[in-house]
Chain A
């Protein structure tokens, strides 16, 4: 099966600009996650969707980050305005619904803020 697709792979912007990332999960996966991975750290959850509803967005900086998953398939994550500390790799993952279903990750978008 095709894996999780993310674009773009790399993005460089100046602080205070806006940026958007796109994710297409594995077909049939109802649950979609966005993680932020800062250099030297493990991934940290930003938001989790179940179909097109939000399950957990407790760690999403809502003053600047937003995400949506229209129609319960693709998802976009937006940052506006970007800050220097947002430089990181943004990873999208998906999983089947149900117990003990591993999350499968895309290759991520590496964001650099100048």
Chain B
């Protein structure tokens, strides 16, 4: 049973524009959410996280928004760069010290 869903398998954005990646979850016990970026033949790289006590967290060009009532989070990348082209995984856990539940990933392509 997929508790974390990324419904868009792929996304294409022009360089300089905003990329918005979406994620939905079903388990109301989830209280810690993360985004990972993955290049081919490499492991996932931690990008940004948010705990359920917040609704927004920013780190440079990356911002994560959390809507607990809708059980939805999104990752905004502004401005998008060609080096951002990768697969992005959304993950969640019921406690930050426990197992992550991952979505299937969204493949982002940023075109020049």
Q: Which of B44, B95, B102 has the most CB of A within 10 A?
A: B44
Tell me the count of chain A residues lying within 8 A, CB to CB, of chain B: 28
Inter-subunit contact B104/A42 (CB<8 Å): yes
Among the stretches A12-20, A66-74, A78-86, A90-98, the one at the interface with B is: A90-98
Inter-subunit contact A42/B41 (CB<8 Å): no
- CB-CB under 8 A from A56, the residues of chain B are 98-99
Inter-subunit contact A48/B99 (CB<8 Å): yes
Q: A42-B102, A42-B105 are in contact. Are A102 and B4 (CB under 8 A)?
A: no
Give chain A nearest CB distance to B22 CB in angstroms: 15
Inter-subunit contact B46/A45 (CB<8 Å): no
**When A and B form their complex, what is the total count of cross-chain residue pairs whose Cβ atoms lie within 8 Å?**
59
Please tell me if A105 contacts chain B, counting CB pairs below 8 Å.
Answer: yes
Q: 8 Å CB contacts to B: which residues of A22-79?
A: 31, 33, 40-45, 48, 55-56
Give chain A nearest CB distance to B6 CB in angstroms: 8
Inter-subunit contact A98/B97 (CB<8 Å): yes
Partner of B96, one of A4, A48, A101: A101
| A31 to B103 Cα, complex, angstroms | 22
Q: A42-B4, A42-B105 are in contact. Are A104 and B100 (CB under 8 A)?
A: no
Please tell me if B91 contacts chain A, counting CB pairs below 8 Å.
Answer: yes
Which B positions have Cβ atoms within 8 angstroms of A?
4, 32, 34, 36, 41-46, 49, 51, 89, 91, 95-100, 102-105
